[in-house]
A and B are shown apart, each in its own frame.
Chain A
Amino acid sequence: MAARGPAGSRVGNSRFAQFKLVLLGESAVGKSSIVLRFVKDQFDSYRESTIGAAFLTQTISLDENTTVKFEIWDTAGQERYKSLAPMYYRNANCAVVVYDITQASSLDKAKQWVKELQRQANENIIIALAGNKLDLVTEQPDKRAIQTADAEAYAREAGLLFFETSAKTAENVRELFTSIAKKLPLDQAGPRNPRSGGRGGVELRPDTQGTQAGGPCSC
């Protein structure tokens, strides 16, 4: 795949880089909730399946000179019947694969998604494994179905970042995204914006040059 690298710029000593991040994992493990916590610092226990978590962005500062912007793609429910489009994986720089630490089968599903990422996405994609719903086992330890050590061993073997998170209490959510940001190849970020016509592309906007239909022909 002819990969589109991250976009970014460098002004003086400060660096700005933008990366595409995709979410994966079984339905109802809390993919959207993790993002909602990260982006809006909100949580809603009774959220229905994903509707309308279209296209979120969040910026984090790694240090006073380095800013990373995540362009976050939610599955929009298309993972439910294994109907994610190739477009979803295209040019993803990083991925968060989520499972539910109270559901034993969800780690197996997560492993399948990791395989799918390795098949469909860029070779150098950075993948983080997130065991979500940590709050449930903090309250009731016997609810835990997947031991931390087991998931951690798998993550190490597969070369993934690993965190146990709680979208509800925010535990480790910011840490998860920060550790991804630290691992991204910031130095490869070139001075261009992927949506403003780099590489001879065109930007489609409603009022470009005022050439709406019906106007005088200018050939």
Chain B
Amino acid sequence: MDDIAPEYDVIVLGTGLTECVLSGVLSVKGKKVLHIDRNDHYGGEAASVNIETLFKKYGNYTKGEEPWKKYGRVNDWNIDLVPKLLMSCGELTNILVSTDVTRYLEFKQVAGSYVQQGSGAKATVAKVPSDAGEALRSSLMGIFEKRRMKSFIEWVGTFDATDAASHKGLNINTCTMKDVYDKFGLEAGTRDFIGHAMALYQTDSYINEKGTGPETIERIRLYGNSVSRYGKSPYIYPLYGLGELPQGFARLSAIYGGTYMLNTNIDEVLYEGDKAVGIKATMQDRGGEEPMKFTTKCKKILADPSYFPSKAQVTGQLLKAICILNHPLAGTDNSDSCQLIIPQSQVGRKNDIYIAVVSSAHNVCPKGYYIAIVSTIAETSANHHLELAPGFERLGRIEEKFMGPSIPLYEPLESGVNDNIFISKSYDATSHFETTTDDVKDIYRRAEGHDLVVEGLREGTNLVGEE
């Protein structure tokens, strides 16, 4: 076995998407990277697992039984642990394209984006319009409201933050979104729909907060641009599951010289004064050889919060249930995939409930099956099943339900400048990866002292045999 180098520029701990993007980017920029995971697989919390692994992870079966056997070949299943989709005009898409990681992946559209109106027996599901034609046919608004909505959307399109003439007489940097909605005379239901199904806010706190106008407009534009890129919905999804994303960026890092070690425990972080300067670690061998112990130095450490629990704090609790279905969701035109948003106002909550559905069309399960993940932010410390109940109502018959305790969401206590340890945030409750790429850029800035520019990242790098 080759020797580990005595020193690396960066040691990255955890192979979640955030860590793999950073590892890839840093390797492309010429840094010497050692990338370690304690697990024997890539992806950490952002992995996709097969159905046997999922049963074993949740332990919801009688010992001695093998319930996964009735679901076909276990490796035909790639079940995401994180319920997210990619915005087709989002930053992760930009990074995938700029780094050419798209070469290793295939993407498919998510067939539709839906929103629930009403609750209980009176609940209906409507498609979030993807173009003007759908907007005019939509059951979401009456005829006059459609006109007001149209003029609002047109204004969003022409809005220019630097041109006060495009601000409709509002002081956009100090007014609230309530002021903006009032200006256009939009009804409560429409506000709900714009804020939650298009701007993808999960609570209503943005409405009365001053100065959220420009951000809300950016969010609506991202949604609109993403929908218009491929039509149908703003989302795309990688074949074989989200777990392909970290693998793709890990390959990028390896191609540019990054060293990968799975199945490796960190025994100790070495410090000089307050600053981390190296690690002691042990790689377990799956082939039955002796474990390999090694010590190496580094200039800095990037890690997911699970490697430094004492340097992170819990900011919320995510509730999540992974459900296996053998039918599409009612009211979604038999879509092979969709996002369904249940706005908090419709079901008496503070946080929206999200449902993300993918299926055999994305090579994540055998034909005839659908994987639906219901998620929200916990508002109670018990009764988590009850909190997700409005989501379960939308699913109809459920073959299997995997729901563990609530999942703590971590963020770092410090920036990392003092101890050279730069910690990422947990994957949050949003439906997409925009906050993940924000975190990538934030960590990069903290660790490297300048902004990450992904455009043209690989230009000028000299690769052997590149076409």
Contact = CB atoms under 8 A, between A and B. Distances in A.
B283 interface: yes
Given A53-B255, A56-B467, 6 more contacts: A2-B363, A54-B465, A55-B467, A205-B97, A213-B221, A213-B222
B287 A112 contact: yes
A218 B240 contact: no
Interface in B271-321: 283, 285-287
Interface string B80-122: 0000000011000100111000111011110000000000000
Interface of B: 1-2, 41-42, 73, 75-76, 88-89, 93, 96-98, 102-104, 106-109, 129-132, 135, 153, 156-158, 198, 220-225, 227-230, 236, 239-240, 244, 247-248, 250-251, 254-257, 259-264, 283, 285-287, 360-361, 363, 366, 462-467
A217 B153 contact: yes
A interface bracket (residues with beta carbon within 8 Å of B): 35 or more
B37 to A, nearest CB: 8
A45 interface: no
Contacts of B261: 81, 83
A27 B254 CA distance: 14
Contacts of B229: 208-209, 211
28 contacts: A1-B75, A2-B360, A32-B464, A40-B465, A52-B464, A53-B464, A53-B465, A76-B255, A78-B250, A81-B1, A81-B262, A83-B260, A87-B248, A87-B251, A200-B108, A202-B88, A204-B102, A204-B236, A206-B97, A208-B229, A209-B228, A209-B229, A211-B89, A211-B229, A212-B225, A216-B158, A219-B132, A219-B135
Contact of B228 (A56, A78, A80, A211): A211
A86 interface: yes
A161 interface: no
Given A1-B76, A78-B260, A85-B247, A219 B287 contact: no
Contacts of A86: 41, 247
Contacts of B41: 86
A53 B251 CA distance: 11
A156 interface: no
Contacts, number: 154
Given A205-B97, A219-B227, A51 B103 contact: no
A18 B41 CA distance: 29
B251 A217 contact: no
A52 B256 contact: yes
B158 A54 contact: no
Nearest to B243: A86
Contacts of A83: 260-262
A91 to B, nearest CB: 9
Contacts of A81: 1, 259-262, 264, 283
Counting chain A CB atoms within 10 Å of each CB, the highest count among B225, B254, B257 belongs to B254
A182 interface: no
Nearest to B455: A206
A81 B289 CA distance: 12
Interface of A: 1-2, 27, 32, 35-36, 39-40, 49, 51-57, 76-78, 80-83, 85-88, 90, 112, 194-195, 199-202, 204-206, 208-209, 211-219
Contact of B257 (A1, A39, A51): A51
Given A51-B257, A52-B464, A83-B262, A218 B230 contact: no
A106 to B, nearest CB: 13
B259 A204 contact: no
B363 A218 contact: no
A202 B108 contact: yes
B254 A76 contact: yes
Contact of B76 (A2, A32, A40, A55): A2
B222 A201 contact: no
A218 B236 contact: no
Given A55-B103, A202-B230, A85 B256 contact: no
Nearest to B37: A83
B225 A213 contact: yes
A215 B223 CA distance: 12
Contact of A217 (B93, B102, B225, B250): B225
A52 B220 CA distance: 40
A204 B248 CA distance: 15
Contacts of A201: 106-108, 239
A173 B221 CA distance: 54
Counting chain B CB atoms within 10 Å of each CB, the highest count among A32, A83, A216 belongs to A83
A34 B132 CA distance: 56
Nearest to B132: A219
B106 A194 contact: yes
B256 A51 contact: yes
A115 B222 CA distance: 47
Contact of B251 (A78, A82, A213, A216): A78
A70 to B, nearest CB: 13
Contacts of A214: 221
Contacts of B466: 52, 54-55
A217 B75 contact: no
Nearest to A82: B286
